[in-house]
Every structure is written in C-alpha cells, then in structure tokens.
Amino acid sequence: PLLQSGDADYVPIFLSEVPKLFRSGEQKIDTAIIQVSPPDKHGMCSLGISVEATLAACQVAGKIIAHINPQMPRTHGDGFIHIDRFAAVYEQSASLPIHSFATGDAVSLAIGKNVAELVRDGDCLQMGIGAIPDAVLSCLTEHKDLGVHTELFSDGILQLVEKGVINNSKKRFYPGKLVTGFALGSQKLYDYVDDNPAVIFMDIEQVNDTSIIRKNPNVMAINSALQVDLTGQVCADSIGTKIYSGVGGQMDFIRGAGLSEGGRSVIALPSTASGGRVSRIASVLSPGAGVVTTRAHVHYIVTEYGAANLRGRSLRERAQALIAIAHPDFREQLSRDAFEVWGLSL
C-alpha cells in the first residue's frame, strides 16, 4: 500500500547483495537503529535473531543507536558488536515479534506432501516462512539426517531438530551446525537459539552466497511464487505491476542448489488464487509481472496436484507437465493457449 500511495519506494536486489550495497557505499547508511542483547563481561552485544543485513549496516553506519533488550537472545556466529560502537543506547525489556506455526489448510498440506516426496534423506534444506513451507516441514518427520542452511530459522525447522530428523551430519559447510541469517517464530524458538552454539547466525552475504551454498551436497531449495507461465518463468515479487514482496534470496538458493552436487530446487504454490477464480499457472505472466526465477533456472514446480520436473525439458514438454498440475478447471484453456500463444502442439 505504501508503494501504491507513493509514500515508499522499492529497490529490486538479491538479498545476498544488500550487504554489498551497504559496504560499497552505493547505499549510504547515516544511522542504524538496532536491537541487541545486553553486553557480556567483555562489552559484546549480540544482534540476536536478526544478523542478515543488519551487521553490514552497523559496519558502515555513521552512528548506531541501540535498543538493549534483555529479551533478545544472545546468538552465536557473526552478530557480535561492542557496546563502545553505539552513539546512544537505551535499555527496555520488550517482547520479540511472534510468528505462529501455520497448522496448514488442505491445499497447503497436499502441496507439502508432494514436496516432501522430492526430499531425500541427507538433503540440506533451505525454505522460507508461511503455510506451504510449514506444511512441507510437517511432512518430513520420517526423513533422516537432514541439514539446514537457510535464510530463515522457523518453528517448523525446530520441530524436526527436536525429533532428530535434522542433525546437519551430512553438510560440508559447518557440519553439525544449523546455519541461518535470522529467526522468526515462537518464544520457544528464541529460547532455543539463545546461547546455542549449534545454531550459527551469519551475515546474509555469506548465507546466500551461491559459492557457499553449493559447497553442501544435495541442497534442496524450497521456495514459493505468485505465478508461473507455461515455459517455467516464475514471478515471485509482484502481482502484475503491483510489488508484493522483495526479490529476496530465491535466486541465490535456486542457483546454489543447481550447482550443488545432487542439488535440486522447488517452487511450490497453490494452483489457484482469488478463491479459485484465477489459475496461478498461466499461459503468460500478467503484464508487468517480475521474473524472479528464469525459465533457464527453474527445476521443480509443485502444486496440490503434483510435481512437474522442468529441468532439461523442452517448451512443449514443460507446458504439458505444468498443465497436468494446474487446477482441472483451467487445463483445457491452458492447452488451447499453449498452441495459440506459444505455438505448441500438445
């Protein structure tokens, strides 16, 4: 709404490059206003649950104003900053933002099951937040030796850690450790990461670095989207010309997974939107829609109706596979469009 009203602007950029934007001086940071844990005996505070691009902002900021929050966990990894760096501080106990684990509707659970069938024992997972990622995680309880190298640490991941499903034993980058950039979830999650050396919070320039992601074998990147066209172009940041979210780290991980030994990537989305009136698998993307993942990078597309493997497939094969997992109400029209719009005889 702020963008549409002209009260805000948007910078399209991969999440991995936000710290570079700060450190290069391309995006100048005059003042960083941050929240930290209380200092330890050495005067070191922790950025806690949000290291991602905050660390880079602090490194280049003209001055830092810090809210010292006794409820902020003290996390291990890159997020330490000495209290002497702060131009001003104030201390106040404040609750951290809570994000409830999604119980999942029938469509999300169906998608979760379809994605879970693509996950192998020993895979290294990356996934976001929301009903579909939560549903996927809830379907992985019978897997073994999973690892995590992800932007976001959520309660769905924690549940699998507690069950022993996630033990990070097969990773090559920080084996035995869960690597993340930030955490969002329940108080239980925040209590878990507090002073826990098994969880490493890293600068997002490192977490989302393709050359680092690919070091782990069998990376399984699971992301979502708003719309996919019949050739596999993925729109994840806008609804037509209306910006819906940032580019984020989707491409960082899809490319990293593609280069990983045995790596795979999934774009998971419901087959319809607007109460079933619109097919998310479209003949063409809406005018103005942003292509976040290109047709050359896409691998699996998953809906509640199944999974389509587009890697190495021709345009005709892609259209056939995508129509097969579209909502049945739209398959006939999509088949006609495949010929009329793309010239593809199915």
Using CA atoms, how far residue 298 sits from 126, 226, 286, in Å, is 16, 14, 19
Q: Specify whether the CB–CB gap between 141 and 160 falls below 8 A.
A: yes
- Measure the CA–CA gap between 177 and 149, rounded to whole angstroms: 9
* Whole-number Å distance between alpha carbons of 150 and 154: 10
Residue 288 per-residue DSSP state: T
Render 44-105 in DSSP notation, one character per residue. EEE-TTB-TTHHHHHHH-SEEEEEE-TTS---EES-EEEGGG-SEEEE---PPPB-PPP---
Distance separating alpha carbons of residues 183 and 77, to the nearest angstrom? 13
- Contact call for residues 220 and 266 (beta carbons, < 8 A): yes
**Rounded to an integer, what distance in angstroms lies between the CA atom of residue 228 and that of residue 327?**
13
User: How far is residue 254's CA from residue 263's CA, in Å, rounded to a whole number?
Assistant: 9
Q: Is 320 strand, coil or helix?
A: helix
Beta bridge partners of 278: 273
Between strands 178-180 and 199-201, the pairing is: parallel
Is residue 174 exposed (0-12), middle (13-18) or buried (19+ Cβ within 10 Å)? Answer: middle
Q: Tell me the C-alpha distance between 248 and 237, whole Å.
A: 9
Structure tokens at 331: 């398959």
Q: List 306's β-bridge partners, or say none.
A: 303
User: Which positions are annotated as active-site residues?
Assistant: 151
Q: How far apart are CA 53 and CA 29, in angstroms?
A: 12
